[in-house]
Amino acid sequence: MSTEASQATQGASRPAADGKLVLAFGDSLYAGYGVLPQQSFPARLERVLAAQGIAATVTNAGVSGDTTGAARRRLSFVLDGLARKPDLAMVNLGGNDMLRGIDPAETRANLTAICEELKRRGIPILLTGMVAAPNMGADYAGKFNPIYADLAKRYDAALYPFFLGGVVTRPELMQPDRVHPTPAGIDTIVGKVAPLVAKTLKSQ
């Protein structure tokens, strides 16, 4: 296991505060690549939920560079390291598969296995989806893009269709690599995703 994966797991093992426990399981978009820990998506989401009167600990189990295959292999270890079963598991994976040109069938199989494990443990799921970059071509996009909606329907999961929606096309909200959002971009995403998280937690 990489040093970063170990650090993510250590963060996941911290005791949950009173209230809800949310697991943010994903890649660099959850991990907070290029920003301070307190500016990461899970940290900002936790603060926004608190401001809405929802006591929740959002555990950052994001690992930069993770493919769906790598995440699949570490999922049980992360879940077993938590203080208790989470009230919600947020999953954001697939972007690195797409950037590496991994066959969407493999991505689908890995994400299916992740959802299966979460379902087996009785953990509600919220998928924050990805969309194939235009340069990947229409054939690739046609196989990759439907994965998230299909899995959301199959596993009765909440779905935010595209994590970077409304942000990736705005250079001022993206880091120079044009892959990761700035702190302002993260805040924009949190503002859009938080209502869905709140609704999902309240429905339990």
Catalytic machinery residues: 28, 177, 180
Cβ–Cβ under 8 Å, residues 97 and 107: yes
Looking at the whole model, is its pTM more than 0.85?
Answer: yes
How much is the pLDDT for 204? 77
What the block records as the tokens of 140 is: 């690739």
| Burial bucket for residue 80 (CB in 10 Å: 0-12, 13-18, 19+) | exposed
Token readout for 106 is: 């493999």
Q: Which pLDDT score is estimated for 9?
A: 43
Percentage, residues of the chain above pLDDT 90:
90
Let me know: does 94 contact 119? Beta carbons within 8 Å: no
Mean pLDDT, to the nearest integer, of 172-196? 97
The dotted CATH code for 3-199 is: 3.40.50.1110
Residue 147 confidence (pLDDT): 98
Q: How confident is the model at residue 117 (pLDDT cuts 50, 70, 90)?
A: very high
pLDDT at 203: 87
* Cα–Cα separations (whole angstroms), residue 17 to 21, 35, 58, 122, 198: 8, 24, 10, 20, 17
Reply yes or no on whether the pLDDT at 7 is more than 50: no
Instruction: Using pLDDT thresholds of 50, 70 and 90, give the confidence band for residue 178.
Output: very high
Q: Where are the domains of the chain?
A: 3-199
Contact 64, 4 (CB under 8 A): yes
pLDDT (0 to 100) of residue 18: 64
Nearest one of 71, 60, 116 to 93, comparing CA atoms: 71
Averaged pLDDT of the chain: 93
Residues 8-34 pLDDT 10s = 444 444 444 469 999 999 999 999 999
9 or 88, greater pLDDT = 88
pLDDT digits (tens, 9 = 90+) for 37-68: 999 999 999 999 999 999 999 999 999 999 99
Is a pLDDT exceeding 50 seen at residue 168?
yes
